[in-house]
Structure 1
Amino acid sequence: MRFTSCCGGAGAKTLVLVGKAGNGKSATGNTIIGRRVFESKRSLAGVTSTCQLETATLSNGQIINVIDTPGLFDSSVEPRLLATEIAQCIKMAKDGIHGVLLVLSIGNRFSEEEASAFASLCQIFGHEIADYMIVVFAHGDLLEDNQCLEDFWGPNCPQLLTDIMAMCGKRAVVFDNMTKDEDKISRQRKELLSLVEAVVKNNGGKSYVNYLFEALNMSEMDLIDQTSEVTCSEKSHEGKKFHIKYEEQFEQLIKMVELRLGECIMRLEKQLAEERVARLEVELKAQAAQTKSKEEMIEMKERLERAEELSKKLEEKFKNAENQSKEKASETIWSRMGCIIM
């Protein structure tokens, strides 16, 4: 179920960068913000280790909040750490998300791990989160001049990626984070933000929040109300209690996320196990068919050898019979000739 909160058209927009470690999330965030605020470098491993929020005011007055995340749903990371970072992301975007930027790399082959991450994201935040998703293809510098995504992928686009693109409404942009061309950078940012505006408009002008956001916000509001009722002399003491209570509430949020994450992991493990069993069954059937084929070939070869052997025997028998016939005919002729001579 999706809960929503209103956001004005001229209000701040919050964007969350998600994707596999090393795909170029931080570099994309720097391009959006317009300056280097996220640590970024070419690496197969991820550079970002924790969620980071940065804000920029664009030339048109638009305020942009960008949340960079580590490699969420990385199978090598402990579920507790993943849950903590997801909860931290929710905390940073507590007023709602206006766009989830799924960053993929043109330079890397789309993997089942990325497809599983997308599925986990939908299961934790709700499938409606796909209505706010935009696919960003980083490393656009790898495309040749005037080459578009359709030309790059061609007919070989992985089916899993095609399915994800369809779920995201085919919203996609290419980002060249290596370019120094300010006009190109501006065009990329403008194209992305126009998609964000379209996403918000398509969702009734509202940002995305769900029960996880609601749980955190309600806890914070309750604590603020309780604190506002105390006297000035009590505020210092109550402030400490507020902080402790808020940390307890945040811990509850982490546990909620961890629970959902555990369910996702179990579901994905079950799915992977079923796929392995299905592949094994196909392999066994293929082996059985191959074995049967080999047996049939051996049987056919043996039958052919038996037929050739029988043919040779018949031919030899025919020749022997023919020779015997000739010998008998010759004896008959000589016997007749002997009678004539006598």
Structure 2
Amino acid sequence: MGGSSIDDDWELASTTNETKTVVLVGRTGNGKSATGNSILGKKAFSSRLSSSGVTSTCELQRTVLSDGQHVNVIDTPGLFDFSAGSEFVGKEIVKCIDMAKDGIHAVLVVFSVRTRFTQEEEAALRSLQTLFGDKIVNYMIVVFTGGDALEDDEETLDDYLGRECPEPLQEILALCDNRRVLFDNKTKDGKKKFEQVQQLLSLVDTVISQNGGRPYMDELFTELKEGAIKLSEQQKAADSLKGYSKGEIMEFRKQMQQTYNDQLKRITEMVESKLKEATTRLEQQLAEEQTARLKAEEKAKLAQLKSDDEIRKLREHLEMAHEELRKRGENRCAIL
């Protein structure tokens, strides 16, 4: 975080109305970096099979599409991995916001059809809502990777969701108006690559339109953007100072950068604190849900046992009745 600086690239991007910024989030191994590379049309992010993940910090890459649109793609480390800890996740969230000062046009939530949807992913999405507010879902698009695996099994995404979609994932899809797309990041077919990216960008345009053309921003984005603009203006003013040595001007710039870094640190600590509270609350909620589920299962089990016992007693009564009838029949035959 410390050492973050404002550069000319950011100033250029901030003045380009056509620039769209998308952020990739999801569990380690779901294929975020590979999806980012597919969007960019080049191998910009490190991507390979790894149990521990490849992306270790937020990273921004840019591209210009054939129609002239500028797209910023921000890849994130495993913000959905609870083992990372609130401190790490907090720093990366603030770094992501710092990279997207003009706001986020779409949040791409990446899942893989190769892995099961987990309780941790559900909790992480709840954390995102806690940190950024419920309106963040208005900017979410769900990207399913592993399209090649479904193709090998001659299945569509609808087939997969109809067969494998757990209730929490159904709720997430409902929250984001079923905005979803399937990606095959391994394909060598140029036409297929183009079509899946166009489908995604079409959903991004839908999100932008439905949100009145406004990217997602909150007070954190605003504060960081204002701080960045102030720093940039101060550094330019320092460069034009008269009567100061080069060393003195460098010291002024250093002090200004430190002020901005202190601002980042304060915001990071605030996000970390909020994230810890959200994580604790979610863990408690998940524990309560687990307890309630176990109680319901136990109750169902007891009801089943009671039902089995009643069925057993009924069967015994029927057998006794049959035996009584059989004996009566034998007695009647003996008398005759």
**TM exceeds 0.5?**
yes
User: What's the offset of the Cα at 1:125?
Assistant: 1.3
Aligned with 2:54: secondary structure?
Answer: coil
Query: Deviation per CA, 1:283-342, whole angstroms, max 9, x where unpaired?
Result: 33234435545766787799899999999xx9xxx9xxx9xxxxxxxxxxxxxxxxxxxx
1:338 aligned partner: none
Bigger drift between 125-134 and 136-145 goes to 136-145
Going from structure 1 to structure 2, the CA distance change for 1:239 and 1:117 (only over 3 Å counts) comes to same
From 252, 271, 284, the counterpart of 1:257:
271
Question: Among 15, 18, 23, which residue is 2:22 paired with?
Answer: 15
In 2 relative to 1, CA 156–107 (structure 1 residues): closer, same or farther, beyond 3 Å?
A: closer
Q: 1:58 aligns with which of 32, 53, 65?
A: 65
Structure 1 segments of 4+ aligned residues over 6 angstroms from their partners: 297-311
Q: Deviations over 1:191-247 (max 9, x none)?
A: 111111121111111111111111222333444555566534253222111111111
Relative distance call for 1:15 and 1:305 in structure 2 (3 A) is: closer
- Is contact 2:29–2:51 with CA below 8 Å preserved after alignment? yes
Structure 2 unaligned residues grouped into runs of 5+: 1-13
2:33/2:46 contact within 8 Å kept: yes
Task: Select 2:133's aligned residue among 126, 140, 154.
Answer: 126
- In structure 2, C-alpha distance between the alignment counterparts of 1:294 and 1:138, rounded to whole Å: 46
Structure 1 pair 299–66 and aligned structure 2 pair: CA distance change class (3 A): same
Tell me the residue number matched to 1:148: 156
| % same residue | 47
Per-residue deviation, 1:42: 2.3
1:151 deviation in Å?
Answer: 2.3
1:74 aligns with 2:65: no
Match of 2:34 in 1: 27
Name the structure 2 match of 1:168: 176
Distance in 2 (CA, whole Å) between partners of 1:298 and 1:186 is 64
Bigger Cα displacement from structure 2, 90-99 vs 210-219: 210-219
1:1-342 map, 5 Å: 11-144=18-151, 147-154=155-162, 156-224=164-232, 231-232=241-242, 233=244, 234-290=248-304, 292=306
**Alignment size in residue pairs:** 314
Contact conserved, 1:215 with 1:253, CA < 8 A, in 2?
no
2:83 aligned counterpart, secondary structure: coil
Aligned to 1:330: none
Alignment correspondent of 1:333:
none
Describe the shift of the 1:304–1:40 C-alpha distance in structure 2 as closer, same or farther (beyond 3 A). Answer: same
1:184 corresponds to which letter in structure 2? K
1:120–1:264 contact (8 Å) kept in structure 2: yes
The alpha carbon displacement at 1:119 in A equals 1.4
Q: Distance in 2 between matches of 1:105 and 1:307?
A: 60
Distance in 1, Cα, partners of 2:211 & 2:315:
70
Change (3 A) 1:185 1:8: farther
CA contact (8 A) 2:231 2:257 kept: no
Q: Does the C-alpha gap of structure 1 residues 295 and 158 become closer, same or farther in structure 2, counting only changes over 3 Å?
A: closer
**Distance in structure 1 (CA, Å) of the matches to 2:251 and 2:189:** 54
2:8 corresponds to:
none
* Alpha carbons of structure 1 residues 142 and 304: separation in structure 2 relative to 1, 3 Å: closer
Rg larger in structure: 1
TM-score by length of 2: 0.82
Q: 1:302 to 1:117 in 2, by over 3 A?
A: same
Work out whether residues 94 and 213 of structure 1, in 8 Å CA contact, stay in contact via their aligned partners in 2. Answer: yes
RMSD between aligned alpha carbons? 3.0
On the 8 A contact 2:33/2:55 being kept in 1, the answer is yes
The amino acid across from 2:184 in the alignment is: D
Partner AA of 2:180 in structure 1 = A
| CA gap 1:254/1:183 in 2 versus in 1, 3 angstroms | same
